[in-house]
Structure 1
Amino acid sequence: MIVRTLDDIAGSDRDVRADTWRSRRLLLARDAMGFSVHDTVLYAGTEIPMHYQNHLEAVYVIDGEGELVELATGTVHQLRPGVVYALDAHDRHIVRPTTDIRCVCVFNPPVTGKEVHDETGAYPLIVEEPVSR
C-alpha cells in the first residue's frame, strides 16, 4: 500500500515548479501503478500551451477558474471546480487561468517526474523501471 501526503513530498524531487505551474507528483512511474497522479496549481494570468503526444491526461479542477482552448477547433471551455477534461486524442490545448487553478492530473502512461515540456508543450516518453516495494 502506498500512502503519501503533500507534506511528505514538499521540497522533494516530486515537487516540481515551472514559471506557469507547480506540480506535486503523488504517484509516478516508479510507484508501479500504471498511471501517475499530480496535485497541480496553474498560476493566474499565465497562458500554458500543451500537447501531450506521448501521454493521455485527465484533469479534475478542484479550485479556481479559467479557460481551456482546444487548438484544433478553437472551442473554449470554462474551467471551474467540478470540471473534468480528458485529453483522449493527444489534443493540443491552451489553459488560461484567471485565478490560480488547483487540479488533480492523471497521466497514462505514468510520468517519471524527470520530464520537461518541450517546444511543442509535450513531455517526452521516458520509460522507468518501477521500484520494488
Structure 2
Amino acid sequence: MKHYRTPLARARGLGSAREGLHDWWRQRVTAVALVPLGLWFAFSVALLPSASHAELVAWINVPWNTLLLLSFILIVFYHTLLGLQVIIEDYVHRDWLKLIAILGIKLLVSFLALAAVYAILRIVFA
C-alpha cells in the first residue's frame, strides 16, 4: 500500500527535539575542566614514582592536593557517566534495555565515585 503522508509528516518526530543540548554542554564543560586537572594529576603522579606509603599519604593530606584530587575524581566519573549514557542512548534501540542499561551505568559509576571519594577522605581524616 502506498503511503500518502508528505515527507514533512514522515520526518516529524525523527529529528532533534533540542533535549540533548544540555548534556552536550555538560560533557564539553567537564572535558575542558579535565584538561588542567588531568595535567596536574599526571605531573603530580610523575613526581612521586618512588614515594613510600607515608610520603603518598602526606601528599594527599596537603589541602590543595586533596581538593584537586577530589575534583579530578568527581569530574572524571561524571564525564564518564555522560559519555556512557550517550553511547547507550545512541546504540541501544530497545527502550526497556536502554532504561536498564542507563540505570545500571548510573549506579555503577556513582558507586565507584563514592568509593574513590571515601578512600581519599579516609586517608585525609585518619
Please give the TM-score of this superposition, normalised by the length of structure 1: 0.22
Higher helix share: 2
Structure showing greater Rg: 2
Please give the TM-score of this superposition, normalised by the length of structure 2: 0.22
